[in-house]
């Protein structure tokens, strides 16, 4: 197994520990902003354009937020 | 002939039961000899035993030259251990000129007073040839404080009882035993006569019994020797230790947490504890039998260290961290004297990149972590439990523990944001000494990219469902009339 270890490259996360808080803040604020827009505009065409990006931002944002506060999931 | 047949049955512990029962049905007088001995195929032409009692456990190293005196190549060397001590043995390792040998416990007769460890030589030793063999073993709980009760500022003495010869299953032509004490203060030791000269001979903190001429296996250890020596440190014993390691790919973090149940096996206090005396003598920092401080030498790069107990954070700790070292120094809430207990928790984080490597295709991972990390102070462990929690969705988990375990299991661990549960490994071992701290544990696993996105995807789905639901609710026409 040691040979395998030597042939592999170190694991580098997409966003390091120092970036968690800022990334989480940007994503969460975007998410909440889009949610606000969604609440005042519910036409059939614009609703999915707001809801899907908002969900994505809140999904990734909450994972980074929990990491930023020290609960590494 | 009978003894030969007997021996053959004994050699194979698994088949011994079967062959014994078949023998006994055929010949009711044939029974196991009381003390079966291995065949005399070797002789030890020279043997040096070193006993190190500077730590709370006894570490014995036997360096010897073994000769094959039989007519055939031999690959099995037996090491006798008295029955009462087998349970104290933390490990027994054998090494030859060509590296470590495989060692296992050979059960001939569980009732016998002498049990045997079998060393399987890497290559059979040819007839008439000789080779070198090193055997290292550690025994725990073999040192007792004498006197058992001392004053708060008195010196502590420990006592060890052993034998003058290294017990061997074979004839030993020449041998001596060297004993390493923690310091020069040895008030009592057994004096023997070896021919004309006094036994032992002293040189500083080293005492030497021997050299002795030919010793036969039936002489066993020879005369008992008892040594009483000053021991200036506490006898630290972790009755239980739980080590929890959690790997996070999202956070790029590996978290370590260790729970300790600690006790001091040193001499107990004669009178009640005097805080005033403790505070006044502490100023000079004298050696003491109490556990005052523990230092954890962590791997450089450790962050966010903490030290808590049942009450909460213990503020008497220092975490000194720089590029070269990371020392976590803890002071328990009270000095832990002989017979006293203290339990605590320490934990810290590391960046994952130094411990985890990934294959070129990005799905195979290798995790390399220290199996144990404990205090720098010498300790022994009664039972340890090591849990490694891998990211959720990791599969094909493989690992090879560096020490003998009593049990191991794979299970699912649930914590924050988990839907399926995380793959986790739990390993248990008993009677471990601090020499195992350096050993490494390697875990390999497969972690597909899809599994990584499970957490944000679950939240995405949940939030999107809420959006859809609120959109549907907003479209319900609740107006009365037109």
pLDDT exceeds 60 at position B230: yes
Name the residue among A8, A51, A71 with its Cβ closest to that of B358. A8
In sequence order, what DSSP letters do the residues of B102-134 get, joined into one string?
EEEEE-S-TTSSEEEEEEEEEEEEPTT-EEEEE
How high is the pLDDT of residue A36? 94
The distance of B443 to chain A (nearest Cα, Å) reads 9
Residue A2 maps to a domain:
no
**Residue B109, pLDDT above cutoff 90:** no
Residue A56 lies in a domain: yes
B419 in contact with A, Cβ within 8 Å: no
B310 phi, psi to nearest 5 deg? -60, -30
A4, part of any domain: no
* Average pLDDT of chain B to the nearest whole number: 89
Rounded-to-integer distance, Cα B56 and Cα B144, Å:
10
Q: What is the mean pLDDT of residues B203-218?
A: 90
Q: Is residue B197 predicted with pLDDT exceeding 90?
A: no
For position B7, what pLDDT does the model report? Answer: 47
Residues of chain A with pLDDT under 50: none
Residue A63 lies in a domain: yes
- State whether residue A3 sits within 8 Å of chain B by CB: no
B236-455 matches B42-230 in CATH topology = yes
A18 touches chain B (CB under 8 A): no
Give per-residue pLDDT as tens, B244-282. Answer: 999 999 999 999 999 999 999 999 999 999 999 999 988
Q: How far, rounded to the nearest angstrom, does the alpha carbon of residue A10 sit from its chain's CA centroid? A: 23
pLDDT at site B23:
40
Domain that holds residue A23: 18-69
Q: What is the pLDDT of residue B482?
A: 65
**Inter-chain CB proximity A13 and B352 less than 8 Å:** yes
Cross-chain residue pair B253–A17, CB shorter than 8 Å: yes
In a domain, A44, yes or no: yes
Q: How many domains is chain A built from?
A: 1
Find, among B372, B339, B91, the residue nearest to B234 by Cα. B339
Look up the CATH architecture of domain B236-455.
Sandwich (2.60)
Distance CA B170, CA B64 (A): 12
Least confident of B118-122, B280-284, B305-309: B280-284
Cα dihedral B108/B431/B56/B229 (nearest 10): -30
pLDDT number for residue B33: 54
* Predicted confidence band of residue B114 (pLDDT cuts 50, 70, 90): confident
CB B353 within 8 A of CB A12: yes
Mutate which: A1, A14, A38, A65, vs B, most B CBs within 10 A: A1
Q: Could you read off the pLDDT of A49-68 as tens digits, one per residue?
A: 999 999 999 999 999 999 99
Q: Which is higher by pLDDT, B478 or B242?
A: B242
Q: Would an 8 Å CB–CB cutoff place A62 in contact with chain B?
A: yes
Alpha-carbon span B194 to B215, nearest angstrom = 13
A54 interface with B at CB cutoff 8 Å: yes
**pLDDT value at B415 more than 90:** yes
CA angle B352, B357, B360 (to 5 degrees): 140
pLDDT for B61 beyond 90:
yes
| Between B91 and B109, the higher pLDDT residue | B91
- The rounded radius of gyration (Å) of the Cα atoms in chain B is 29
pTM for this prediction: 0.86
**Angle made by CA atoms B241, B269, B374, in degrees to the nearest 5:** 20
Cα torsion B269, B185, B296, B319 to 10°: value is 80
CATH fold for the domain made of B42-230: Immunoglobulin-like (2.60.40)
> Is the model's pLDDT at B195 over the cut of 90?
no
The pLDDT value recorded for residue B264 is 96
> Whole-angstrom Cα distance, residue B260 to residue B233?
19
Calculate mean pLDDT across residues B297-303.
Answer: 94
The alpha carbon of residue B99 is apart from the nearest alpha carbon of chain A, in Å, by 18
What does the pLDDT look like over B378-408, one tens digit per residue? 999 999 999 999 999 999 999 999 999 999 9
* Residue A10 domain-assigned (yes or no): no
Domain ranges in chain B are 42-230, 236-455
Compute CA B208 distance to the chain's CA centroid, rounded to the nearest angstrom: 28
Is residue A12, in this structure, part of any structural domain at all? no
DSSP B220-252: TT-SEEEEEEE--S--EEEEEEEEEEEEETTTT
What is the pLDDT, as a whole number, of residue B106?
Answer: 82
**A26-35, B13-22, B296-305, B333-342: which has the minimum mean pLDDT?**
B13-22
Choose, out of A3, A8, A34, the residue to mutate when testing the contact with B (most B CBs < 10 Å): A8
Looking only at Cα atoms, what is the longest distance across chain A? 59
What pLDDT is stored for residue B408 in this prediction?
A: 95
Q: Measured between alpha carbons, how far is B251 from A14 in angstroms, rounded to an integer?
A: 9
Confidence band, pLDDT 50/70/90 cuts, at residue B15 = very low
**Residue A60 buriedness (CB in 10 A; 0-12 / 13-18 / 19+):** buried
Residue B140, pLDDT above cutoff 90: yes
- Please tell me which residue of chain B has the smallest CA distance to A46: B471
Q: What share of chain B has pLDDT > 70, as a percent?
A: 92
Question: Can you give the pLDDT at residue B8?
Answer: 42
How much is the pLDDT for B38?
85
């Amino acid at each position: 197994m040691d040979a395998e270890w030597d042939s592999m490259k170190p694991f580098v996360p997409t966003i390091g520990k120092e970036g968690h808080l800022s990334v989480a803040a940007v994503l969460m604020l975007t998410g909440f902003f889009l949610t606000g827009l969604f609440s005042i505009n519910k036409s059939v065409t614009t609703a999915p354009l707001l809801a899907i990006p908002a969900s994505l931002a809140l999904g990734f944002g909450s994972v980074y937020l929990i990491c930023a506060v020290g609960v590494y999931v | 002939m009978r003894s030969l047949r007997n021996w053959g049955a004994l050699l194979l512990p698994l088949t011994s039961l079967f062959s014994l029962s078949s023998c006994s049905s055929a010949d009711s007088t044939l029974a196991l000899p009381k003390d079966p001995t291995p065949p005399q195929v070797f002789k030890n032409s020279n043997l040096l035993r070193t006993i190190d009692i500077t730590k709370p456990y006894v570490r014995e190293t036997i360096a010897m030259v073994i000769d094959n005196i039989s007519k055939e190549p031999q690959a099995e060397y037996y090491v006798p251990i008295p029955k009462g001590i087998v349970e104290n043995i933390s490990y027994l390792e054998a090494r030859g000129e060509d590296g470590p040998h495989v060692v296992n416990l050979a059960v001939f007769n569980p009732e016998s007073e002498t049990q045997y460890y079998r060393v399987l030589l890497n290559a059979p030793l040819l007839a008439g040839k000789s080779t070198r063999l090193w055997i290292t073993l550690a025994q725990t709980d073999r040192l007792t404080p004498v006197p058992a009760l001392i004053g708060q500022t008195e010196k502590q003495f420990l006592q060890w009882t052993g034998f003058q010869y290294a017990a061997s299953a074979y004839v030993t032509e020449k041998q001596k035993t060297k004993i390493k004490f923690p310091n020069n203060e040895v008030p009592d030791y057994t004096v023997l006569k070896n021919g004309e000269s006094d036994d032992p001979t002293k040189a500083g903190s080293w005492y030497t019994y021997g050299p002795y001429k030919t010793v036969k296996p039936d002489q066993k250890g020879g005369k008992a020797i008892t040594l009483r020596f000053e021991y200036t440190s506490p006898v630290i014993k972790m009755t239980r230790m739980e080590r929890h390691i959690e790997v996070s790919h999202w956070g790029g973090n590996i978290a370590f947490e260790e729970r300790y149940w600690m006790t001091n096996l040193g001499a107990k206090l004669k009178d009640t504890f005097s805080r005033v005396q403790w505070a006044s003598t502490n100023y000079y920092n004298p050696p003491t039998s109490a556990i005052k401080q523990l230092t954890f030498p962590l791997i450089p790069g450790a962050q966010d260290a903490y030290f808590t107990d049942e009450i909460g954070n213990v503020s008497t700790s220092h975490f000194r961290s720089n590029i070269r070292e990371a020392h976590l120094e803890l002071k328990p809430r009270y000095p832990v004297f002989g017979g006293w207990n203290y339990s605590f928790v320490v934990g810290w984080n590391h960046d994952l990149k130094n411990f985890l490597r990934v294959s070129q295709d990005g799905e195979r991972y290798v995790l390399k972590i220290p199996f144990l990390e404990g205090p720098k102070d010498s300790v022994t462990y009664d039972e340890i439990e090591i849990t490694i929690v891998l990211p959720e969705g990791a599969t094909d988990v493989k690992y090879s523990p560096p020490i003998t375990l009593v049990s191991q299991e794979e299970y699912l661990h649930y914590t924050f944001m988990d839907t399926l549960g995380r793959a986790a490994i739990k390993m248990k071992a008993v009677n471990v000494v601090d020499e195992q701290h350096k050993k490494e544990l390697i875990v390999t696993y497969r972690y597909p990219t899809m599994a990584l996105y499970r957490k944000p995807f679950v939240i995405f789905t949940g939030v999107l469902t809420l959006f859809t639901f609120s959109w549907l609710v907003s479209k319900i026409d609740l107006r009365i009339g037109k």
